[in-house]
Amino acid sequence: MPELPEVETLVRGLRRPLVGRRITVVRLGKTDFMDDPAALQRDVPGCRIEEVTRHGKFIVMRLSPSKASSAAAGLLVHLGMTGHLAVASADEPIVNHTHAFFALDDGRELRYTDSRRFGRMGIFGEVALQKVLAPLGHDPLEISRRDFALRLARRRARIKALLLDQRVLRGVGNIYADESLWRARIHPARLAASLTAKQVAALHVAIGEVLKQAIESRGSSISNFRDAQGQPGEYQLRHRAYGREGKPCFRCRSNIRRILVAGRSSFFCPRCQRTPRAPGSAGRSAKKKTKH
């Protein structure tokens, strides 16, 4: 569920109940997806939550040190595929697969739920925090057209693979990659270096618009994404490509198709998003580079 718009929606909803609160007790369930569960239990109690922000698909909770010696700087949470955070009264029933409880000084508690445990959670000092976040690429909502073009220039990977690569752009996942490519009328398997300047510009605009609209709709709820208040998002109602295999394209009525690109289901319109040259065919047609 969680790509940039879903994480942003969750973060916005968590700020009010969390910022300024002090964490009093940490209780953990299964910990095999956590970086250092012992440190979490040891260093987090006593800290106050100063800030809740999003960095790509990561949620960063800045903590004030509980003691002078504490190196705790930030609680990092990645939702993986099925992670979720919610603030609940301590007496609310505990939903299945809840693996972390952070009791707050107002009697409520922050709970982390994740059935598949593909998520990630850990308490990090400043240096360790940067080590995790620094490799990530630009925020897709802030990158300039020029920088975007530079990130794609001369890359021979498929455009979809690059959009999903968090070192290139941070926050785009499978849904929004497909939606953006549909908008820009670019086939997911096109090699990035083969895109025209016009196409790169169109894709840059498409990504920004799709993500902004998705945030306005409070994300996509395909099966189970919920915001901090437990409400589903509505952007799934506006999907134009993702999940629409066999259904008519909103522009040309051709049937949306599904193929595998970069190992992921990729939905596109075979008419609006033209198939690239078969791998190896065109570039090699002028073969015989015997002469130079």
Partner DNA sequence: CGTTGAACCTGTTTGC
Partner DNA sequence: TGCAAACAGGTTCAAC
Query: What positions carry a catalytic annotation?
Result: 2-3, 57, 264
Which position among 236, 240, 241, 272 is part of the footprint of DNA (CB under 7 A)?
A: 236
Q: Strand 108-114 vs strand 83-89: parallel, antiparallel, or unpaired?
A: antiparallel
| Alpha-carbon torsion angle 22, 24, 30, 35, nearest 10 | 60
Query: Site residues for DNA, window 139-198 (CB under 7 A)?
Result: 154-158, 161, 164, 166, 173-175
Which position among 69, 223, 281, 285 is part of the footprint of DNA (CB under 7 A)?
A: 223
User: Which of 10, 71, 19, 14 lies closest to 44, judged by CA?
Assistant: 71
Q: Strand 83-89 vs strand 23-28: parallel, antiparallel, or unpaired?
A: unpaired
Our CB check for DNA shows the closer of 42 and 155 to be 155
Binding status of residue 54 toward DNA by CB under 7 A:
no
Q: Based on DSSP, count helices (H) and strands (E) in the chain, helices before strands.
A: 8, 10
Binding status of residue 48 toward DNA by CB under 7 A:
no
Q: How far is the CB of 113 from DNA (least distance, A)?
A: 11
Which string of x and - marks every residue 237-276 that binds DNA (by CB under 7 A)?
A: ------------------------xxxxx-----------
User: Which of 216, 212, 204, 132 lies closest to 163, judged by CA?
Assistant: 204
Q: How far is the CB of 274 from DNA (least distance, A)?
A: 18
Do the beta carbons of residue 271 and residue 289 sit within 8 Å?
A: no
Binding status of residue 131 toward DNA by CB under 7 A:
no
Binding status of residue 138 toward DNA by CB under 7 A:
no
Query: Whole-angstrom Cα distance, residue 44 to residue 105?
Result: 13
Which position among 89, 96, 196, 290 is part of the footprint of DNA (CB under 7 A)?
A: 96
Q: How far is the CB of 207 from DNA (least distance, A)?
A: 14
Q: DSSP letter string over 240-289?
A: SSTT-TTSBPTTT-PBPEEEEETTEEEEE-TTTSPPPPPTTHHHHHT--T
Q: Is 75 helix (H, G, I), strand (E, B) or coil?
A: strand
Q: How far is the CB of 23 from DNA (least distance, A)?
A: 25
Strands of the chain (E only): list them: 23-28, 48-55, 58-64, 74-78, 83-89, 98-104, 108-114, 120-124, 257-261, 264-268
Q: How far is the CB of 189 from DNA (least distance, A)?
A: 8
Which string of x and - marks every residue 3-42 that binds DNA (by CB under 7 A)?
A: x--x-------------------------x----------
Which token pair is 93? 């029933």
Our CB check for DNA shows the closer of 17 and 173 to be 173
Binding status of residue 130 toward DNA by CB under 7 A:
no
Our CB check for DNA shows the closer of 102 and 176 to be 176
Binding site for DNA (CB under 7 A): 1-3, 6, 32, 56-57, 78, 80-81, 96-97, 115-118, 154-158, 161, 164, 166, 173-175, 220-225, 236, 261-265
